[in-house]
Structure 1
Amino acid sequence: MPIRPEHRFFYPIDWPQLSATIRFGRAGGACEGCGRPHGQIVYCLSDGRWWDAAAGTWRDGKGRTLPALPTIEDLGAIRSTHVVLATAHRDHDTANNAPANLAAFCQRCHINYDRPEHRRRRWRTLFRRRAMGDLFRGPYAS
């Protein structure tokens, strides 16, 4: 995922090399959450199941082989997506660049992993805005 210009100074100067080492050196060019391959077009269903063309099998959202094939109705909602790996911080601290804290995730796994943190930050932003409004404009009308 691209780094916003206002957040670029939180990352080390060698971040592109460190990220490439995690994504392609350690993870081997595949998502560490579900196993989707970097740079490939993957056919997937809305619940996270996807077709692994290299292995010739359907996989679930965690990369495990499905015990049963998707139904014809499921295949009606199939879509394709281009997989791009990104390096994620497991503890959401951009200053902690230890290899154990970094993970190579595809877009789906990255957003799913970050969802609780995004929810917490959104609540904090709204709470802060409301507090600033109370401070300068008085309490909100009910």
Structure 2
Amino acid sequence: MPIDLKLYHPKWSLISRLVRYRRAGNKCEWCGAPNGQVVARGTGRDAGTYMLSGGQVFDATNGKALGRRDNYVARAHVKIILTVAHLDQDPGHNRFHNLAALCQRCHLNYDRWDNYRRRFHKGQFSLAL
């Protein structure tokens, strides 16, 4: 979902870089997926995991290393792009404890309910185009 930069702090670019690179170490803070690398997302018996190009497999919920795995069942190969999530959904609240550097999977899963609410509850939220 595109962002409206008018809602963000004037130094959002700097804030975002500090969270992604300095605090998170260029990895998703929740699953540990490395920014900029292509990972295989598992399916079937390997659902809920991801594998790096070297064959190391990790739990996609907590980033715990699961070792190497032969015959890994991949659903898709995805380039990881870290973004910064506002944990309270307020782009004006930029305290570091309210921000998390997340990969696409973790960020979309975290925002799922809020995105649903914004699209389908016409009251105080407008419909997404």
TM-score (norm 2): 0.81
Distance 1:19 1:128 in 2: 26
Aligned equivalent of 1:16: 13
Shift of 1:57: 2.5
Of the candidates 32, 38, 41, which is equivalent to residue 41 of structure 1?
A: 38
**In structure 2, do the counterparts of structure 1 residues 113 and 18 end up closer, same or farther at CA, with 3 Å as the change threshold?**
same
Q: Give the secondary-structure state (helix, strand or coil) at the position aligned to 2:122.
A: helix
Matched, 1:107 2:104: yes
Provide Cα deviations, 1:16-47, integer angstroms capped at 9, x if missing partner. Answer: 11100000010000001100000111122143
Paired residue secondary structure (2:115)? helix
| Structure 2 segments unaligned to the other structure (5+ residues) | none
C-alpha RMSD over aligned residues? 2.6
The 5-angstrom pairing of residues 1-142 of structure 1 reads: 2-3=2-3, 7-46=4-43, 47-53=47-53, 56-62=55-61, 63-66=63-66, 69=69, 72=71, 75=73, 77-125=74-122
Q: Deviations over 1:49-104 (max 9, x none)?
A: 111356x521121212338957x4x62x4421100000110000011000000000
> Taking every aligned residue pair, what percent have the same amino acid on both sides?
38
Change (3 A) 1:128 1:27: closer
Matched length: 122
1:124 and 1:2, CA in 2 relative to 1: closer, same or farther beyond 3 A? closer
Are residues 78 and 118 of structure 1, via their aligned partners in 2, closer, same or farther at CA, if it must alter by over 3 Å? closer
The answer to which of 89-98 and 118-127 deviates more is 118-127
Q: Give unpaired runs (5+ residues) of structure 1.
A: 130-142
CA distance in 2, matches of 1:79, 1:87: 23
- 1:89-126 Cα distance to aligned partner (Å, 9 max, x none): 00000110000000000001000000111122122138
Q: Greater Rg, structure 1 or structure 2?
A: 1
Where is the helix percentage greater, Structure 1 or Structure 2?
A: 1
Which structure's residues are more often strand, by fraction? Answer: 2
**Segments ≥4 residues shifted beyond 6 Å:** 126-129
3-state SS of paired residue (2:91): coil
